[in-house]
Structure 1
Amino acid sequence: MSGAPLAVTATAPATVANLGPGFDLLGLALPAPHDRVTARIVRDSGVRIASQTGYSERLPVEAERNTAGIAAISTLRRAGIDVGIELEVHKGMPIGSGLGSSAASAAAAACAVNALIGSPLRRTELVEACLDAEAVVSGRHADNVAPALLGGLVLVLSIDPLDLVRLPVPDGLLVVVATPDFELETRRARDALPQDVPLTDATFNSGRLAAFVTACFSNDLGLLARAVDDRLHVPARAPLIPGSEDVMQTARDAGALASSISGSGPSVFAFCHGAEASARVASAMRDAFANAGLESLTHIGSADSPGARTQ
């Protein structure tokens, strides 16, 4: 590690997981917001959280219970390097927002620590380090951490062993995300899921997922618009999010190609084509949440956005 930097800062984006019919399988990196982590080599052994700012009020400061800390610990272990690391974490998104908040912290920490120690691990190995962190707080699933690290649109074929596929994003596809001032705990949202689903619903989602992948490779926005429907998690989670069904329908009525719940909610995303349509959809989604008594923030940007990177 001779000549290695003494500190590295990395950012990682919010993500849309459980994208459309891809429950636990499809994830998309968003252009904003981001988490930011600075990793610094210190004399003391182990990993510690030196500070947390932003949306961090209820996050644990113990590295072994914090997703950034766990990802840092796992990155060092996988690299076979024993060095003291201090982390400064800035949370750019609230927890329980459906934007992959825990995954963003983990991805930024893994990226920063890996760069700090000379980048011995590949990005896919960093995904595995972040899976260790996700397993502690929200379950072992990769549809947030994979796009948070790799960027773009990612299909998770398997996590044991890890098998990820980067999907092409159709030309000009934009994403709008509306995040209401409302927290929905990931575990509560997961507890709402049915233990068994009808065969007809499983078949429905399988067909939509096949159509979604086909739309990506064929650059077919019309097919993509028909492929985002879901029967596995959205019907169970929409009642937990005030106004969400109206928000999704309003987005479509305003010109969105498709709309669904982001992650486990409460954020709602919409796919659009063109800046004018995206702005109109964003305004309509904010109004729909307002009609349900919730203020909301919207982000608009490319559906093909980068993942974690050092500054």
Structure 2
Amino acid sequence: MACHCGGKIVNVSIYVPATSANLGPGFDCMGIALDLWNEIHATPADDLQIEIDGVGADTLPRDDTNLVIRCMKMMYERAGEPFHGVHLRMVNRIPVAAGLGSSAAALVGGLLAANHFLDSPFTSAQILRIAVEDEGHPDNVAPAFLGGAVLAYLEDHVVTHVNLPIRDNLTFVAVTPKFPLLTETARGVLGDHVARADAIFNVAHASFLTAALTTGNLPLLRRSLADRLHQDARKHLIPGFDAVYAASQRAGAIGTVLSGAGPTLLAVVEAGAPAQAVAQAMVNAFEQTGSTAVARILPPTTMGAHVHMKAQRTPHGAR
């Protein structure tokens, strides 16, 4: 049952970071949390009310098809408890259908909110597994939940994961053209089979990337971001991909990759002055190919999703 302890009702606020998945060669198993946050403020109730501020305020549903609500109901079903309702206020800053983990943020936020209303019957490991199984792959939900750069893999209903320490002088430039690209569309262009040479290439480069991030070897990092499993197949879905990539390199990026399924391109930059130059160069390149784009300079964050709770007195006569 949802807790109304001591005549008080518990309001829950969940904060979930944006994420960038794959990082080039780490397809479906590597991602990083970025310092851009969605907020979910929830109060248990006997009806459903949803308020949305920021990104998606004009487009996201305000009924039980909302992803946050769907995930809350899923947790209640797993706990064998009825879901009566919730008063929800979402403050969204992560762009939708852009490759920066907006769905993962909603999923993780909904699971955490429900778990707290249920008096926390599920452990952190169980919540992560539920999130990964629902999403289908861990590359966004694991860093959204855990923070930092994460390697994760789901096998036999167990999520094996490790956080990678990364240098504090790296930052990321996320440039998002103003057109959506659904993950289902981006996955639909991928083949079912991979050539052995391409598999070896990605295993090697993902290993190099892990070493480069943890040792701070920037020349190795520059070489390790290449991919043969998904980026070449997807880049035609993003007009101007090659031009934006080239512009980022000329402006001083260490490397540039497709963020998740796109259409955001993510440049890795040494923290400091080059980030602004890289951001402007990428925006300009998108504009020259006919697309308006928004640049965000986003440091990595080691903090993952977290919860704040506030108790208020239940009005006289309330359940």
| Aligned equivalents of 1:59, 1:208: Cα separation in 2 | 38
Q: Contact between 1:177 and 1:267, CA under 8 Å: does it hold in 2?
A: yes
Q: 1:153 Cα deviation (Å)? A: 0.7
Partner of 1:137: none
| Aligned equivalents of 1:11, 1:133: Cα separation in 2 | 20
| Aligned equivalents of 1:74, 1:132: Cα separation in 2 | 12
Is there any run of 5+ residues in structure 2 with no aligned partner, and where?
Answer: 309-319
The alpha-carbon distance between structure 1 residues 240 and 83, as it changes in their structure 2 partners (threshold 3 A), is closer
The alpha-carbon distance between structure 1 residues 49 and 200, as it changes in their structure 2 partners (threshold 3 A), is farther
Q: Contact between 2:52 and 2:89, CA under 8 Å: does it hold in 1?
A: yes
Give secondary structure in 1 for the equivalent of 2:19: strand
Structure 1: which amino acid aligns with 2:213? C
Partner of 2:317: none
Q: How much is the aligned-residue C-alpha RMSD, in angstroms?
A: 2.2
Once the two structures are superposed, residues 167-197 of structure 1 have per-residue CA deviations (whole angstroms, 9 ceiling, x without a partner) of 1112311111111111112111110112222
Pick one of 299, 305, 309 that aligns with 1:308: 305
Q: Contact between 1:39 and 1:113, CA under 8 Å: does it hold in 2?
A: no
Structure 2: which amino acid aligns with 1:7? N
The alpha-carbon distance between structure 1 residues 225 and 303, as it changes in their structure 2 partners (threshold 3 A), is farther
Written as runs of structure 1 = structure 2, the 5 A alignment for 1:133-212 is: 133-134=134-135, 140-159=136-155, 160-212=157-209
Q: Contact between 1:177 and 1:298, CA under 8 Å: does it hold in 2?
A: yes
Once the two structures are superposed, residues 252-305 of structure 1 have per-residue CA deviations (whole angstroms, 9 ceiling, x without a partner) of 221111101001110000111121111111111111111111111111132234
Aligned residue pairs, count: 301
With the length of structure 2 as denominator, give the TM-score of the two structures: 0.86
Give secondary structure in 2 for the equivalent of 1:300: strand
Q: Contact between 1:67 and 1:133, CA under 8 Å: does it hold in 2?
A: no
| Aligned equivalents of 2:217, 2:108: Cα separation in 1 | 31
Establish whether residue 114 from structure 1 lines up as the match of residue 115 from structure 2: yes
Q: Contact between 2:129 and 2:158, CA under 8 Å: does it hold in 1?
A: no
Written as runs of structure 1 = structure 2, the 5 A alignment for 1:49-68 is: 50-54=50-54, 55-63=56-64, 65-68=65-68
Structure 2: which amino acid aligns with 1:25? C
Structure 1: which amino acid aligns with 2:198? D
The alpha-carbon distance between structure 1 residues 158 and 131, as it changes in their structure 2 partners (threshold 3 A), is closer
| Aligned equivalents of 1:144, 1:104: Cα separation in 2 | 8
Q: 1:39 Cα deviation (Å)? A: 1.9
Worse overlay, 243-252 or 67-76 = 67-76
With the length of structure 1 as denominator, give the TM-score of the two structures: 0.88
Structure 2: which amino acid aligns with 1:236? A
Partner of 2:218: 221
| Aligned equivalents of 1:285, 1:157: Cα separation in 2 | 32
| Aligned equivalents of 1:131, 1:60: Cα separation in 2 | 23
| Larger-gyration structure (1/2) | 2
| Aligned equivalents of 2:249, 2:239: Cα separation in 1 | 18
Establish whether residue 255 from structure 1 lines up as the match of residue 235 from structure 2: no
Is there any run of 5+ residues in structure 1 with no aligned partner, and where?
Answer: 135-139
Q: Contact between 1:170 and 1:221, CA under 8 Å: does it hold in 2?
A: no
Structure 1: which amino acid aligns with 2:291? L
Q: 1:77 Cα deviation (Å)? A: 4.3
